[in-house]
């Protein structure tokens, strides 16, 4: 197995995730795209862990999973709040911060 096959998988997923973040208007879907990005990062971390024969990567991966869980929790909470106030979760409609 090549190092690159995993890294490329990670890269492709990352780019798909980026596309999702840019293209999606729906906040929930945007969060999902972020999850894809995070997972692609995890794949990278674990690949390097295997390559370098260390377990640091595993630790980071676990931390990322944990942080992601927290992020989803808070993120969805925010979405819920927004929805309750504005009856929409379309990100584009949240432009109060326009300069």
Partner 1 sequence: MSLLASESEILAPLASGWFLEHAWLIPVIPAIAFALIILIGKRLPMKGSELGVLSMISSLVLAAGAGYQWIQRTNSATEDQFVEPVIKSWSWWRSGGFDFGIGQHIDGLSILVLIVVAFISTLVQIYSLEYLRGDRRYTHFFAALTLFSGGMLAMVLADNMMLFLLGWEIMGLCSFMLIGHWWEEDANSRAALKAFFTVRTGDVGLLVGISMLYFSANDWTQEHLGVSGFSIRGISAWALSGAPNSTVITIAAVALFIACIGKSGQFPLHTWLPDAMAGPTPVSSLLHSSTMVVAGVYLVARLYPVFFVGLNILGSGGNLIVIIGGITIVISAALAFVQNDIKRVLAYSTVSQLGYMMLGLGAGAWLPAVFHIFTHAFFKACLFLGAGSISHSASHHSFDMKRDMGGLRKVMPITFTTWIISTLALCGVFPFSGFFSKDEIIDNVGHNGYNLFMIIGLIGAFMTAAYMTRATYLTFFGEPRGASAGHADHGDTHNSHDADASHDAHDVEQSHGPHESGLLITIPLIILSVLALSSGFLNATPFGESWERMKLWVEPRSVEVVEETHLGGPGESLIINLPSAEEVHSKSVCGSAQPETGICYAPQLNHAPFKWLKAMMSMAIVFLGIAISWILSTLLFTKRAPRLVGLTQRVKILGFGHKLLVNKYYLDVLYEKVIVRSIAYPVARAAYWFNQNILDGILHAIANSTRKISGWVYKNVDQLVVDGTVNNSATLTKSLGTAAQPTQSGKVSQYAALLFSAAAVAALVLVIINT
Partner 2 sequence: MIAQNIGFLIIAIVMIVAALRVVTTNNVVHAALWLVVVLAGAAAQYILLAAEFVAVTQVLVYIGAVMVLFLFGTMLTRARIGAESDLNNSYKKLGIPVGLVMLVAMGLALTDSFGDEKLPESAKVVSTQEVSDQIFGPYLLPFWALSFVLLAAVVGAIVLARKD
Tokens 């197995």 correspond to what residue?
1
CB nearer to partner 2: pick between 67 and 99: 67
CB nearer to partner 1: pick between 1 and 22: 22
Task: Check residue 85 for interaction with partner 1 (CB under 8 A).
Answer: no
Task: Check residue 79 for interaction with partner 1 (CB under 8 A).
Answer: no
Token duo for residue 58 = 């595993």
* Contacts with partner 2, 39-78, as mask; x by CB under 8 A: x--xx--xx-xxx-x-xxxxx-xxx-xxxxxxxxxx-xxx
Beta bridge partners of 90: 26
Q: Is 82 in contact with 94 (CB distance < 8 Å)?
A: yes
The length of the chain, given as a count of residues: 99
Distance from C-alpha of 50 to C-alpha of 61, rounded to nearest angstrom: 13
Least Cβ distance, residue 98 to partner 2 (angstroms): 15
Task: Check residue 82 for interaction with partner 1 (CB under 8 A).
Answer: no
């Amino acid at each position: 197995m090549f190092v690159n096959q995993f890294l490329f998988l990670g890269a492709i997923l990352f780019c798909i995730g980026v596309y999702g973040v840019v293209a999606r208007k729906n906040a929930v879907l945007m969060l999902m795209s972020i999850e894809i990005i995070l997972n692609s990062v995890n794949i990278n971390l674990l690949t390097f862990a295997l390559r370098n024969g260390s377990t640091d990567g595993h630790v980071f991966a676990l931390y990322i999973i944990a942080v992601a869980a927290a992020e989803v929790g808070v993120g969805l909470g925010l979405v819920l709040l927004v929805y309750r106030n504005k009856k929409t979760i379309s990100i584009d409609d949240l432009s109060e911060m326009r300069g």
